[in-house]
Amino acid sequence: MVARLIRVIASARLAAWLIGVQLGFLVASFLIPQRGIFPDDQVDSFLGAMPGPVGWLFDALALDHVFTSALYYAAAGLLAVNLIVCTWERVAKRLGRAATRGTGAVPDTALVLAVRDPVAVASVLASLGARATEVGEGETRYYLRRGGAGFIGSVVMHAALVLVLIGGVLTGVTTFRGEMLFTEGQARFDTPDDYLSVSQVPSVGSAFRDFAITLKSMEFTYEDGTVVDAVANLQVTDASGDREEAARVNYPLKVRGKSFLLQDAGHSVWITVTDPAGTVVLDSFVNLLNVTDRGYEDSFGLPNGELQILSRPDASQPLDEKMTEGLRITSPIVGLSMADPDASEDPVWVVPGSAGVTVGGYTMRVNEVRVWNRFMVRADAGRHVIYLSFALIIAGTLVRFIDPDRWLKAALAEGPDGARLHLWGAVRYSARALPKEADLIARLVSPPADPSEPVAGADMGDNPSKEVRRDS
Amino acid sequence: MTAETATFWLAVVLYALATLASVAGLAFSRQRLEGAAFGLTLAAFASHTASIVLRWIDTGRLPYVQDYENALSGTWAIVLVYLIMSYTWPRVRVAGVVVFPFVLLTVGYGLLVPSDPGPVTPAYRSVWLVIHVLFAWATYAGYVAAASLAGVELLKARRRKPLREDSLLARTPDAARLGEMTFRFVVFGFIVNAAMIASGAIWAYELWGSYWRWDPVETWSLLTWLAYAFYLHAHTTLGWRGAKLAWVAFLSLFGVMMSFWGVQVLPSSYHLFRSLGEGNFDMGRGR
């Protein structure tokens, strides 16, 4: 019972079915909008448009998030078990085959050849490096093996697929996802309070580490009005001291297992607002999060209304024209207004460092304009396992097909009606990959051009229709 | 019209003529037409190469970022592999009957999408992206070659009457040999496909902080890889041969086509390269 179960679990047929199931999941994920990839309202609207039973089915099978569903985990887990058992079976089978060296029973499917000159056949087999074992009087068994590296490659490749699943699980339990916002000159610590948001913390290990980062400055390069390079010059402070680092898009800053990925940027305005009573109600950098053709803008609530701030990078550009090269701040100018955002009242334009102006009854002074940057912060220990797995898959597959695993067994025996050679084995796909063995087989199994001419001491025997068996 | 556009158009016209000659050659069993198709392909390839070189000189970089550039360079890789295949095994030139229409469709698509080079935003400036795209071209080239050989094998298998000695199909290798050649290209495609997925995963982490997001293109790419993994297991483990296996190789090309074209109809994918050159510095494209 157990042996049968193992056979089923280790079968290539089950592997093929499970690959088919994986394909099914992938097709479902393509046809049905997935949560986490598409916005929730889009997914809800898609599911809402489905007829009742279909919607219920989608819900029951969690087809709107197939890759985090129990069904998917079960299928992936079973595939992992199949891969492990299958690989183990192959290793055991191979070791067993090597151990017997062809001394077991001759299979019915073996090719039988009448041999005219047994010494010549033995000589050919010996020249190929076949191991000879005497199994009885007048009978010698030969075992020829090739592709040891290919076999290891195959095992490595299949083991690496299991490693991919392990890497996926590791990612699930070690992922940290957060966002951090910096203004130039600002330092942030790796503590929950200093993050703009934290959406996922690892289930194992510590989420926060002991270091700080300071955004010293930002540099932007433009080409035809488009940012083509952005560099964040940073200072990292940890137990080992201070060090200067740079982060770019595609080249994140990596500190103690966390990656800081440069995302978007905008203007940050240091403004001091004093109310009519002389009380300072705002004195800090405010980050302008919206970008329009006019500039970087945002609004902030004050006791008597909404303060609109609009920042442009270069005062020499006409104010009614579209802003260009917005992040290269050369001679900034800031527009302030307390008007209704829908009204078209012109703002009061202020150059940073100039005297305060009165807007909506408040005295406002713009001190400085800098750049803010948003960094996506990620930690994922599983990714290294995934990268390693893929390297092993590629290397294993390469080796597997460069030097394919194959073996050949032969039994050479004297009988009452002359010598007979039984030949059986596993011959892989390519004749070119098996020059010597294939040549041997060709010479042994092909009828000679002139029947009176023996080929390598053998000719077609009593079973010429049989082929050398192809199996796994 | 720039020199680059002119050479590209010339290549498209020549590929179209090669397609016609190839199909007519097969339909009417005319070796001269097959020879003409091959000659036209060589001329188209020369013009195609000139177009890529001109683009490269114009932009100062390998053409690898936009849909247009991927159509331009990807099809070049496909034709290159076909030419190498035809040079190595002249008897399989007839496989062009599958390769040429695929190339023609892809370059035709390239003509319909914007081709203005524009500046390259920081997101596309990554060595991993270049590696990823190079492997993608190699993958497509390998799989198209495999599908074309499988197509020839299927065409031969469908013939009920014995082939005339002078027919083009009769000159092709036997089914077993075609199957073996198909297998080799699948193996090549499978390995470079794995490298494409791996390099894409590394790029994705460095850019978006996640090596896998189940993006539709990623999903189709994995699906394609699994389909070819099934082919390899069917061949080496289950011992499939002949038309059944050739169908698997031929139909799996659908996954490749979906990865390239299918996603164009999607409302959202990280792999849509339409917004290149927009002025804003924002990596959270479309999310």
Contact A376 B209 (CB under 8 A): yes
The phi, psi pair for B143, rounded to 5°, reads -70, -35
Put simply, the answer to whether A387 touches B238 (Cβ < 8 Å) is: no
Q: Which residues have CB under 8 Å from A100's CB, separation 6+?
A: none
| Window A:277-296, CB contacts with B under 8 Å | 291
**Distance between CA atoms of residues A458 and A454, nearest Å:** 6
Within this chain, do residues A18 and A76 fall inside the same structural domain, yes or no?
yes
Per the CB < 8 A criterion, the answer to whether B183 and B215 are in contact is no
CB B21 within 8 A of CB B44: no
Q: Which of A345, A380, A415 is the last residue of a domain?
A: A380
A261 shares a domain with A189: yes
CB < 8 Å to A401, chain B:
187, 191
Domain identity same for A238 and A277 = no
Q: Could you tell me which residues come within 8 angstroms of residue B230 by beta carbon, excluding any fewer than 6 positions away? A: A16, A19, A20, B248
Count of Cβ atoms closer than 10 Å to residue B13 Cβ: 13
Q: Is the pLDDT of residue B256 over 60?
A: yes
Distance between CA B207 and CA A257 in Å, rounded? Answer: 16
- Rounded to an integer, the average pLDDT of B48-59 is 95
A16 and A54 inside one domain? yes
From A26, A393, A471, residue closest to B222, measured CB to CB: A26
Residue among B86, B76, B66 at smallest CA distance from B45: B76
Examine the domain organization and report whether A363 and A282 are in the same domain.
yes
CA dist., res. B187 & res. B121, Å (int): 35
- The DSSP call for residue A116 is S
Tally of CB atoms within 10 A around B259:
23
Same domain, residue pair A323 and A247:
no
Q: Output the pLDDT for position B263.
A: 65
CB B190 within 8 A of CB B208: no
A chain contacts of residue B207, beta-carbon cutoff 8 Å: 249-250, 261
Contact B128 A376 (CB under 8 A): no
Is the Cβ pair B223, A27 closer than 8 Å? Answer: yes
Is A226 domain-assigned? yes
| Yes or no, beta carbons of A431 and B180 under 8 Å apart | yes
- Is residue A53 domain-shared with residue A81, that is, in the same domain? yes
Residue A38, chain B, CB below 8 Å: the answer is yes
Cα B168 from Cα B174, distance rounded (Å) = 13
Dihedral of the CA atoms B258, B264, B269, B275 (nearest 10)?
140
Could you tell me which chain A residue has the CA closest to the CA of B219?
A: A26
CB–CB contact A472 B236 (8 Å): yes
| The two three-digit tokens of residue A447, written as one number | 């009828």
Mean pLDDT across B254-282: 60
Q: Which residues of B touch A26 (CB under 8 A)?
A: 219-220, 222-223, 226
Domain that holds residue A17: 1-85
Select the residue from B183, B263, B281, B283 to test the A interface by mutation, using most A Cβ atoms within 10 A.
B281
Please indicate if any CB of chain B lies within 8 Å of the CB of A220: yes
Running DSSP on this structure, what letter comes out for residue A361? T
Contact (CB<8Å) A30/B216:
yes
Do B136 and B67 touch, CB atoms closer than 8 A?
A: no
Domain boundaries, chain B: 1-116, 121-263
The answer to whether the CB atoms of A226 and B190 lie below 8 A apart is: no
Residues of chain B in contact with residue A429, where contact means CB-CB under 8 angstroms, are: 180, 183, 235-236
Give domain status of residue A240, yes or no: yes
Q: Are A179 and A198 part of one and the same domain?
A: yes
Chain B residue with the nearest C-alpha to that of A469 = B239
State residue B266's pLDDT score. 58
DSSP letter assigned to residue A192: G
pLDDT at A456: 41
CB pair distance less than 8 Å for A227 and B281: yes
Tokens of A452: 């009176």
pLDDT score for A188: 97
CA distance B150 to B243: 8
pLDDT at residue A462, as a whole number: 33
As given in the structure block, the two tokens for residue A164 are 């991919």
Closest-CA distance of chain B to residue A206, Å: 19
Task: Name the pLDDT band for B284 (thresholds 50, 70, 90).
Answer: very low
Is A104 within the bounds of a domain?
Answer: no
Q: For residue B133, which phi and psi values (nearest 5 degrees)? A: -70, -40
Say if strands A406-415 and A418-426 run parallel, antiparallel, or are unpaired: antiparallel
Of A261, A378, A401, the CB nearest to B187: A401
Report CB contact under 8 Å: A249, B215: no
* Subunit contact A20:B230, Cβ cutoff 8 A: yes
Tokens of B68: 């247009």
DSSP string, A64-96: GGGGGSHHHHHHHHHHHHHHHHHHHHHHHHHHH
pLDDT band, very low/low/confident/very high, at B50 (cuts 50, 70, 90): very high
A215 and A299 share one domain: no
Rg (CA), chain A: 37
Question: What distance in Å separates residue A100's CA from the closest CA in chain B?
Answer: 23
In a domain, A334, yes or no: yes
320-359 in A: which are within 8 Å (CB) of B? 326-327
Best of A22, A224, A249 to mutate (most B CBs within 10 Å, chain B): A249
Q: d(Cα A394, Cα A39) in Å, to the nearest integer?
A: 35
Q: Residue B105: is its pLDDT beyond 70?
A: yes
- Quick one: pLDDT at residue A451? 41
- Report the pLDDT value the prediction gives residue A55, as an integer from 0 to 100: 80
**A276 and A358, same domain (yes or no):** yes
Nearest alpha carbon to residue A470 among A438, A435, A448, A447: A438
Rounded to whole angstroms, the Cα distance separating A95 from A148 reads: 11
Q: How many contacts, defined by CB atoms under 8 Å, are there between A and B?
A: 161
CB contact under 8 A, A19 and B195: no
Q: Are strands A296-302 and A290-291 parallel, antiparallel or unpaired?
A: antiparallel
CB within 8 A of A440, min separation 6: which ones? A124, A125, A128, A408, A456
What letter would DSSP give residue A29?
H
Q: Do B180 and A249 touch (CB under 8 A)?
A: no
pLDDT, position B228: 94
The total number of structural domains in chain A stands at: 3
How large is the average pLDDT for residues B131-136? 95
Phi-psi region of A81 (alpha: psi -120 to 50; beta: other; left: phi over 0): alpha
Q: Are A260 and A306 found together in one domain?
A: no
Going residue by residue through chain A (472 aa), what tens digit of pLDDT does each one get?
777 887 788 787 788 788 788 878 878 887 888 887 778 888 888 888 888 788 888 888 888 888 888 888 888 888 888 888 888 887 887 777 666 666 778 888 777 778 878 888 888 888 878 888 888 878 899 888 878 898 899 999 999 998 998 999 999 999 999 999 999 999 999 999 999 999 999 998 889 999 999 999 999 999 988 899 999 999 999 999 999 999 999 999 999 999 999 988 999 999 999 998 999 999 999 999 999 999 999 998 888 788 999 999 999 999 889 999 999 999 999 999 986 555 556 889 999 999 999 988 899 999 999 999 999 999 999 999 999 999 999 999 999 988 887 777 888 888 888 888 887 776 544 434 344 555 565 555 444 444 444 334 333 333 333 333 333 3
How remote is the C-alpha of A282 from its chain's centroid? 47
- A291:B280 CB<8 A: yes
Lowest mean pLDDT among A74-78, A379-383, B81-85, B94-98: A74-78
Q: Is there a single domain that holds both residue A261 and residue A271?
A: no
**Considering only CA atoms, which of B258, B260, B278 is closest in space to residue B109?**
B260
State the Cα–Cα distance between residues B209 and B50, nearest whole angstrom.
Answer: 38
Q: What digits encode the pLDDT tens for the residues B220-237?
A: 888 899 899 989 988 887
- Closest by Cβ to A223, choosing from B119, B212, B235: B119
Spell out which residues of chain B touch residue A430, defining contact as CB-CB under 8 Å: 180, 183-184
| Separation CA A40–CA A234 (nearest Å) | 36
- Is residue A112 situated within a structural domain? no
Is residue A237 a part of any domain in this protein? Answer: yes
- Which residues of chain A lie closer than 8 angstroms to B238, CB-CB? 12-13, 16
A431 found inside a domain? no
| Nearest beta carbon to residue B121 from set A226, A376, A390 | A226
Nearest CA-CA partner of A329 in A292, A284, A269, A369: A369
Long-range contacts of the stretch A448-455 (C-beta < 8 A, 24+): A454/A116, A454/A117
Residue in chain A lying closest to B126 (CA): A250
Exposure pattern of A191-214 as b/e (b: 16+ CB <10 Å)? eeebbeeeeebbeeeebbbebbbb
Q: Which of A59, A85, A111 is the last residue of a domain?
A: A85
Closest chain A C-alpha to B88 CA, distance in angstroms = 15
Q: What is the DSSP string of A239-286?
A: TTEEEEEEEETTB-EEETTEEEEEEEEEEEEEEEEE-TTS-EEEEEEE
CB contact under 8 A, B214 and A383: no
**Residue A395 covered by a domain:** no
Name B90's Cβ contacts closer than 8 Å, sequence gap at least 6: none
